[in-house]
Amino acid sequence: MPGLSFHCDLQPRRGAPEDALAALRSVCHDERYASRVVAQAPSYWLGLSAYPEYPFASHRLDGGVVIHLEGRIYGERPAAAALAEPARPIFREEDGADAALARWLRDTDGEFVAVAEHLASGRIAIVNDALGRLPLYCHRTAQRFVLSREIGLVARCVADIRFDRMALAQHLALGFPLGERTLFEGVERLAPAVCIRIDTARGALRRSNALALDLGAGGEADHS
């Protein structure tokens, strides 16, 4: 499927290596698709593989923040204006930052993946919409983090990738793996409303569920 792919290596590297471009080209499913590196730094690259009409745009905001938006945010406000609201709290880690982001996600109708760069500090933040309408797949080790809309690209970037036997059994029994499992070991489908913050200078990654939908029993569980 078309969309964004992100690769972060804790070991510095110079620009997007050839294997990144090859990985992006591997998910160009027909002649209409094209791949390109959207952003790059010594420790990460962000790429896009898509057909020309695919909804993607980069927005430069105040404070040296660039947000790359795949998909759409619905409503009367332009996407850049809608994204300006979470741009500051998305990079903060103090109390209240996740609450501010959760309020924004709860009030924002859209199907999107947003990758934000804080150019001065080298920090990265990735967030998806409240319902996770655009599937995202990721793999994390102590040295590397890979995220993509295309599970095949994630698998390509993982050395010695193996099938998940339990996920295969679930798929055969039910037609899909349960929870965040995928058919590959160590590759998971990202939950909705997840915020991933990466400090590339320190090689630190923090992940939080900004907005958790509670579909369990409520206060009226004793009623019919």
Residue 101 pLDDT exceeds 60? yes
Q: What is the pLDDT of residues 124-137, one digit of tens each?
A: 999 999 999 999 99
Q: Which residues contact 42 (CB under 8 A, 6 or more apart)?
A: 12, 13, 14, 200
Could you tell me the two tokens for 174?
Answer: 């039910």
Q: What is the pLDDT of residues 36-78, one digit of tens each?
A: 999 998 889 999 999 999 999 999 998 889 999 999 999 988 8
**Higher per-residue confidence, 144 vs 1:** 144
The Cα 74–Cα 103 span in angstroms is 16
Query: How many CA atoms, within 13 angstroms, populate the side-chain half-sphere of residue 5?
Result: 30
- The residue-averaged pLDDT of 92-118 equals 87
Task: Give pLDDT, residue 95.
Answer: 63
Q: What is the pLDDT of residues 155-211, one digit of tens each?
A: 988 888 999 999 999 999 999 999 899 999 999 999 999 999 999 988 889 998 877
The Cα 126–Cα 106 span in angstroms is 17
The Cα 166–Cα 171 span in angstroms is 9
Query: Which of helix, strand or coil describes residue 166?
Result: helix
Q: What is the pLDDT of residues 108-117, one digit of tens each?
A: 999 999 999 9
